[in-house]
Structure 1
Amino acid sequence: IDKANTLVAENIRTIDVLIVGRGGGSLEDLWSFNEEVVARAIARSNIPIVSAVGHEIDYSIADLVADVRAATPSQAAELVTRDTEEWLQHIDSQAAQLNMLVQRKLAAQQASLAHLKARLRHPRHRLNLIREQLKSARDRAALLIQQRLTRERQIVNQIRRDLRAVSPTMITRKQKDTVARLHQQLPSLIAAVLNRQTDRVMHLTQLLTSLGPASTLERGYAIVTSVSAGVVRDSKTVSVDSEITIRLHRGGLTSVITETHDEPKPA
């Protein structure tokens, strides 16, 4: 008993409960549980002790100083391992709630991304690039969430295995706290991922706006069109005396060509 308390004090190992006892026998066989040294060791133990000496009719000094008396060693084992199934059911319920929360958050994110993609109205090449970037960001976010969920499931499964192996009340309580902590952390992670992806979409939207025709005209450029050539990109597509229309940032001009050049004319 003293050695077990020393091991716990030195953090060598964790002992949650001790069962002190043996099966039935004669008074002489059970007399060691009436010894003063045994009684004092039980009394000063920091670890909870269950006394289980002999049969139900057998009483010893160890029974009187222990934290709990069990009629038999079998009953002692039942006392320290009860309520296991109840905790396992609780953990299953928590795991199901975690999974449902992740699925809802992921669906909301996908809907938001789809809405933003539907509102983008820009040149086809640039729009396709943005779509690929959004898809990549969404896939990374989904992968990150799935990996975190997988780790949480592994932790829950390990908790269930540990509970089936030992499952005293104190260990079960600690594992319940761990599940609650993980349950609180997961929404924060999901919110952070969604915020980062929202900021990225806003940045890309601003970039597309800056590359649009209206922004280009605002910087001093103009769009020249003619009836015969449409948008004029080459001086060879129009002829002298033909009429052209010039679109500016504000208003426009109608001009008649008096001269054409193959190369830009010096200012």
Structure 2
Amino acid sequence: MLSHFTYLNSISSPWVTFIDGAGGISSQWQKQLSEFKLHYNVLVLDIAQGENTIEGNEVLNIDAITNAILRILDFNNIPKSHFIGVSLGTVFVRNLAEKYPNRIKSMVLAGAIVKLSFRFRTLLQMRAISKSIFSSKSLFKFFVFLLLPNKNNRESRSFFIEQSQGWKKGQFNRWAQLTSKLKPVLKYLHSGESNVPTLYIMGEEDYLFLPTVKRISSENSGKLLFVIQDCGHFVNLEQPILFNKMVIGYLVGMENRMEDSLSVEDSFNNCSPEEVLIANSNNHSKK
């Protein structure tokens, strides 16, 4: 079973489930937990820890991870939850929404991966070619720098490099192999877009993934996009106060709609699907 942590608020409080990205660094939610625990029952999944089908010697598999997430929900008697995913974790959330939509109230996709751009595929190919020359840790540092290249990404870079020091041998390579095989999975998910209400939160400087998310959010009603200026891929780490405020506001709105017995689809149809909310991060503290 996947390693996980639960923080109970009250029986009547909704559940919010956090799913991390590649490498299974669940501590990347450290700037969210103190705030979310005040309002919700919280489940944090540690994707990298647990049963052999997830992080053993076998090849990682999207469906295996998705089913493992479902088992954790059942184990904790959580019939339905809001889901918040970041980076690769957004693929697990979307796959769960496609296969088990009745278990998801809404999904918040931060630094969403909806398509592998040419630039990103090139990075993966570079890793595959050079893995016999450089160590996994060296490749990961290089990969993180290319993903988070700007000055204001420095804190995120340092965090992920520090966290990777405790990885098991070959862990980065297994996650990189999984990511390199995402193309058919993402195509499948895009072809059957879920009706689950969705909020995308992206950094303005997330050059690898933001363009596609902009296009997809403009094509689908019920899919809102919130872009944070002066911010890269990991928006929850770089702009935690703004991220928390936006997500909690969104979840409160979702819960109010459900309590008022309004159709989520109808309520979203009152908004333009092309609407893109842009926040100027200069007006918010990063700490």
Instruction: Identify whether the pair has TM-score above 0.5, normalized to the shorter chain.
Output: no
State the structure with more CA Rg. Answer: 1
> Which structure has more strand as a fraction of its residues?
2
TM-score by length of 1: 0.21
TM-score norm. by structure 2 comes to 0.20
Larger RCO (CA under 8 A, 6+ residues apart): 2
> Which structure has the highest helix share of the two?
1
